[in-house]
Structure 1
Amino acid sequence: MIRMTVSDPKADLHRYLQIARDALLWKLDGLSEYDVRRPMTPTGTNLLGLIKHVASVEFGYFGDVFDRPSGEPLPWFEEDAEPNADMWATADESREQIIALYHRAWAHADATINELPLDAVGRVAWWPAERREATLHRILIHVITETNRHAGHADIVREMIDGAAGLRADNGNLPSRDETWWETYRNRLEQAARKAGETR
């Protein structure tokens, strides 16, 4: 008989959050200052901006929501800030500063997660009135989802920059094939797409 180990739901959620954090941060490894900032989509999506945004999100959801403000200045969230100011790093904001901001966000969030029970209720001022009250459990799920969404963006952006791909440092999660195989594979997909486009 196989015995299932009993897990701690909060520890499980916390672990998944940390996995997503690490995956997102890993996408910066080995890139130049220019490459971590390059706007790679028409809407300006860039790697360092994703880190800055997610750090800010953690400060809000695990700080303000539970009346545990961090005291961290986030000028890009002020009323008079320009739109999308949290989604890119200025030339004066170094990679080290943004990464340090993210690590401080982790520490602040982790303190909230460790000190409060999953059923602790917070208030999300920026959500619609009918659902502003939310438990730590719900907030953890929300932030895990958001972090993974942005890690997915980072996957694509990084691949567009230098071809590097993979789930995380210890798990590529892709077939081990050479460049020729991938080129042939991509060409097959292109041909299938063109054929489908011609027949529909």
Structure 2
Amino acid sequence: MGLLMEVFKDPKGYINWYFNHKEIYDSERELVKSLNLENCIDIGSGPSVFHDALKGRTISVDISILMLKEADPEEDKVQADAMHLPFRDNSMPCAFVSVAICFLESPEKLIREMERISSKEIGVCIVPKDSSWGKFYQQLGEKGHKYYSIAHFISKEELLSALKDFNLVEIKSTLHFAPLEDAKYEEPKNDPFGGFLCVKGIKKNHLGFP
């Protein structure tokens, strides 16, 4: 975790990546918005780049205080380790994590924590390691890229397996073009084949779900 702190000491550089890749950012943000997640704890939130795509009250959680300082000053913020979240069981309707899950050694443990703290639903977005984008980032990591060299990408099958205790109500993706192609805005698609994949799951004991 100390290495991650070193990697993410540059929140403005992190933010600038999104604004320098507007078509990709807009595509990913629209996908997150389409999940209709509300009142979420955003785990590994960074500077809250997806918060305008989440409804209701959002609580930013990140291990980096520098990242949290760049988040919306009107929002609630908690500095914490994603693997040991300081929230009571069933304390928030929703838990959300974006690509931060790709930088943890145990995505399954994080999902168990998300299941514990959420009373209703979770949303998880990844760059699948078996997508063209995942392969591209892994190649950059092998060359020593400061972010991707410590990433632990998982496949869509591994993600769906880790979500076995949820009823999966949305499986969507975007970025169906290759990393070296000209970037373009893309509407979310109801398939798992893009370079940015999001899954929404409802807890099986919530409301009418068995």
TM-score by length of 1: 0.25
Please identify the structure whose Cα radius of gyration is greater: 1
Q: Which structure shows the bigger proportion of residues in helix conformation? A: 1
Higher RCO, 1 vs 2 (CA within 8 Å, ≥6 residues apart): 1
TM-score by length of 2: 0.24
